[in-house]
Amino acid sequence: MTGAAIPAPPSREVELTIDGRQVRVPEGTTLLQACRSVGIDTPTLCYLETLTPVNVCRVCVVEVEGSRALVPACSRPVEPKMVVHTDSERVRHSRRVVFELLASSVDLSLAPARVREDMARYGASPERFGPRAARVAQPVKVDNELYVRDYSRCILCYKCVEACGADAQNTFAIAVSGRGFGATIATEFDHPLPDSACVYCGNCIGVCPTGALMFKSEHDMRAAGTWDESRQTVTETICGYCGVGCTLQLRVQDNSIVRVTSPLDHDVTSGHLCIKGRFGFQFVQNR
């Protein structure tokens, strides 16, 4: 390393109380980061380290004394002398109901195991809204050979919109359209992707937490019943195309690549890829 790098300005520390513990963190830290720094486990769905917090899912809410409503930990910066409760009755209640509302309206079966654990932790029982509770049901959109969109799994976390937009790809092919319960992620006039601005970087797939966006190969294998994670390996390597040096995680089943991801914590592209890195692997298995 060289001395020519511009040093970051020294940041001041803020002291606050979380669940009765005194916590010191740098100014500008979010409540979520502060909680994590002292090992307090806080559920999140719409939060991702590499994206601007949108604080819409509300499962990370915590109670801040003096605040009328609960506050989203993911986006709220710490303030001196804040007194925060992350496991109060109000917090537990809201988290529980939010999980129930989500699970009663969308298909969470492909969400990470963590979501099921959180639902159990908060005692969420989505079935209590009755068997006729409206669901976000619509057919899977299959309009190209690379990836599919199954919005019946979409929790509207905005991550794909952010990854397609100013937080990563700057393509702006998709946005939230409509409003209320009818709001959905869409291209303009809900045109098929090949008519849209989509450049198939698949960064939306990389950030989707519920499997609403999926490689077509994976979608087809799941439909055929051949998707078997017990037979899969994940290997990290470097993309074989251009000189940027993106890290690829190759998920392989039966000597075939079935999904390509990239680790968020890699400092070359923070998990983002282009169409060639994400989908351009087929040539090695045209054997």
Partner 1 sequence: MYAIDPRRTSSAAWADVWLGLDVGSDIALANAIGREIIHAGLTNRAFIERATTGFEAYRESVEPYTLEHAETITGVSASVIQELAHAYARADRAQVCWTLGITEHHNAVDNVFAIINLALLTGHVGRFGSGLVPLRGQNNVQGGGDMGAIPNKFVGGQDVENPEHRARFERAYGVTLPPKRGWHLSEMFEAMERGDLRTLYIIGENPIQSEADAHRARKLLTGLDHLIVQDIFLTRTAEIADVVLPAAASWCESEGTVTSSERRVQRVRKALDPPGGARDDIDILCELARRLGHPWETPTAEAVWNELRALSPWHRGMSYERLEQLGGLQWPCPHDTHPGSPLLHDRLWEDPVEGPSAPFMPVVFDPPVDRLTEEFPLRLTTGRRLDSFNTGVQTGGYASPMRRGETLDVSPEDARRLGVVEGEIVRVVSRRGAVEAPIHVDPGLRAGLTFMTFHFPEQVETNLLTIDAVDPKSGTAEFKASAIRVEKVCVQPALSAAGSAVEAV
Partner 2 sequence: MDLHLIPSAVPSSEERAAIDAALGTCAADRQWLLPALHAAQERAGWISEGALNYICERLSVPPADAYGVASFYALFAMAKRPRAVAHVCDDIACRVNGAEALCGALEARLGKPGEPLPGASATWLRSPCQGHCERGPVALVQIAGPNPVNTTVTAATIESILGSLAGSTFEPRATSQPPSRVRATAGQANNGEGDSWIAAPQTTVPEWRPGLRLLRRVGVVDPASLDDYRAHGGYAALRRALDVGPEGVLREITESRLLGRGGAAFPTGRKWEAVAHAAVRPHYLICNADESEPGTFKDRVLMEEDPFALIEAMTIAGYATGCETGYVYIRAEYPRATSRLAHAIERARLRGLLGDDVMGAGVRFDIQIRRGAGAYICGEETALFNSIEGKRGEPRNKPPFPVQAGLFGKPTVINSVETLANVLDIVSQGGPAFSRIGTAASSGTKLFCVSGCVERPGVYEVNFGALLGDLIEFAGGVRGGRRLQAVLLGGAAGVFVTPDELGMPLTFEGTRAQGAALGSGVVMVFDDSIDLGDIVHRIAAFFREESCGQCVPCRVGTIRQEELVHRLRAGAPMGSAAAELALLDDLAGAMRDASICGLGQTASGAIQTAMRKLGVFGATKS
From the list partner 1, partner 2, none, which binds 222 (C-beta under 5 to 8 Å, kind-based)?
none
CB of residue 243 to partner 1, shortest distance in Å: 3
Q: Which residues contact 237 (CB under 8 A, 6 or more apart)?
A: 247, 248, 250
Size of the site for partner 2 (CB under 8 A): 51
From the list partner 1, partner 2, none, which binds 140 (C-beta under 5 to 8 Å, kind-based)?
none
Nearer to partner 2, 82 or 260 (CB): 82
Name residues contacting partner 2, limited to 136-165 (CB under 8 A): 155-156
Check residue 233 and give left, alpha or beta (phi > 0: left; psi -120 to 50: alpha): beta
Residue among 72, 83, 67 at smallest CA distance from 46: 72
Tell me the helix, strand and coil percentages in the chain, rounded to 5: 30, 20, 50
Structure tokens at 193: 């992707």
What residues line the site for partner 1 (CB under 8 A)? 1-6, 144-146, 170, 193-194, 198-200, 233, 235-245, 247-248, 250, 252, 255-257, 266-268, 274-276, 279-287
- Helix-helix angle 89-105:113-121, to 10 degrees: 130
CB of residue 53 to partner 1, shortest distance in Å: 25
Per-residue DSSP letter, 119: H
Cα(106)–Cα(212) distance, integer angstroms: 10
From the list partner 2, partner 1, none, which binds 279 (C-beta under 5 to 8 Å, kind-based)?
partner 1
Name residues contacting partner 2, limited to 43-62 (CB under 8 A): 55-59, 61
Residue among 182, 197, 116, 118 at smallest CA distance from 151: 182
- Applying CB under 8 A, which residues contact partner 2? 55-59, 61, 69-70, 72, 75-76, 90, 93-94, 96-98, 101-102, 104-105, 128-130, 132-134, 155-156, 170-183, 186-189, 191, 195-197
